[in-house]
A and B are shown apart, each in its own frame.
Chain A
Amino acid sequence: GIQVEQSPPDLILQEGANSTLRCNFSDSVNNLQWFHQNPWGQLINLFYIPSGTKQNGRLSATTVATERYSLLYISSSQTTDSGVYFCAVVRGLRGGFKTIFGAGTRLFVKA
Chain B
Amino acid sequence: DAGVTQSPTHLIKTRGQQVTLRCSPKSGHDTVSWYQQALGQGPQFIFQYYEEEERQRGNFPDRFSGHQFPNYSSELNVNALLLGDSALYLCASSPGTGTGYGYTFGSGTRLTVV
* A30 and B99 in contact, given A40-B107, A95-B50, A96-B48 (Cβ under 8 angstroms): yes
**Which stretch in A13-21, A54-62, A69-77, A85-93 binds the other chain?**
A85-93
Q: What total count of A-B pairs have CB within 8 Å?
A: 74
Q: A101 an interface residue at 8 Å Cβ cutoff? A: yes
CA distance A95 to B92 in the complex (A): 17
**B97:A95 contact, CB within 8 angstroms:** yes
B99, B104, B105: the one within 8 Å of A90 (CB)? B99
Partner of A33, one of B37, B44, B100: B100
A100 within 8 A of B: yes
Check B56 against A96 for contact (C-beta < 8 Å). Answer: yes
Which residues of chain A from 6 to 62 have any CB-CB distance to chain B below 8 Å in the complex?
30-31, 33, 35, 40-45, 48, 50
- Residue of A30, A45, A102 near B103 (CB, 8 A) is A45
B90–A31 touching, CB < 8 Å? no
Asked if A41 and B33 sit within 8 Å, CB to CB, the answer is no
Q: Which of A41, A50, A96, A103 is in CB contact (< 8 Å) with B41?
A: A103
User: Given that A41-B107, A90-B99 are contacting pairs, would A96 and B31 also be in contact in the complex, using a CB cutoff of 8 Å?
Assistant: yes
Q: Interface size for chain B: under 10, 10 to 19, 20 to 34, or 35 or more residues?
A: 20 to 34
Cα-based distance from A48 to B98 in the complex (angstroms):
13
B108 CB to nearest chain A CB (Å): 5
Contacts of B35 in A (CB 8 A): 101
Q: Are B97 and A97 neighbours in the complex by a CB distance under 8 Å?
A: yes
Find B100's partner among A42, A43, A99 (CB 8 Å cutoff). A99
Question: Which of A40, A50, A86, A95 has a CB less than 8 Å from the CB of B56?
Answer: A95
The list of the 10 closest CB pairs from A to B, nearest first, reads A96-B55, A101-B42, A90-B100, A30-B99, A43-B105, A96-B56, A31-B99, A31-B100, A96-B97, A95-B55
18 interchain pairs (CB within 8 A)?
A4-B42, A30-B100, A40-B107, A42-B105, A42-B107, A43-B43, A43-B105, A44-B105, A48-B100, A50-B99, A86-B43, A93-B56, A95-B50, A97-B99, A97-B100, A98-B48, A101-B35, A101-B43
Give me the interface of A with B, judged by CB distance under 8 Å.
4, 30-31, 33, 35, 40-45, 48, 50, 86, 88, 90, 92-93, 95-104
